[in-house]
Amino acid sequence: KAGVTQTPRYLIKTRGQQVTLSCSPISGHRSVSWYQQTPGQGLQFLFEYFSETQRNKGNFPGRFSGRQFSNSRSEMNVSTLELGDSALYLCASSSWDRGNGYTFGSGTRLTVV
């Protein structure tokens, strides 16, 4: 059973650009969540999608957005990139009842220069 797949693994962008990150959840998982981890910080919750609907949202500016497709794949977009957006972005998926917790992907390392 394939795990959570995030692409790309590494990305370098310049300030002001926008970026789209992709996450393919485990087959059958309908809940996808996104987290940001900056150096020295814990996991900061961005948002969660379930059945193509945003169910929860963390405390991030509107430059951060996401969506989920009918096949449960999710994308996260960051517009007008800032240096402080450099981070590891983790995606996690879970089954509909989430009783077994999340399975995380290995993340996308975004560097903004």
Partner 1 sequence: KDQVFQPSTVASSEGAVVEIFCNHSVSNAYNFFWYLHFPGCAPRLLVKGSKPSQQGRYNMTYERFSSSLLILQVREADAAVYYCVIFCRDNYGQNFVFGPGTRLSVLP
- The residues of the shown chain that bind partner 1, judged by CB under 8 A, are 3-4, 33, 35, 42-43, 45, 55-56, 88, 90, 92, 97-107, 109
Please report, as a single letter, which amino acid is at residue 57: K
Sign of CA dihedral 107, 45, 98, 28: negative
Q: How far is the CB of 43 from partner 1 (least distance, A)?
A: 5
Smaller CB separation from partner 1, 64 or 107: 107
Smaller CB separation from partner 1, 79 or 109: 109
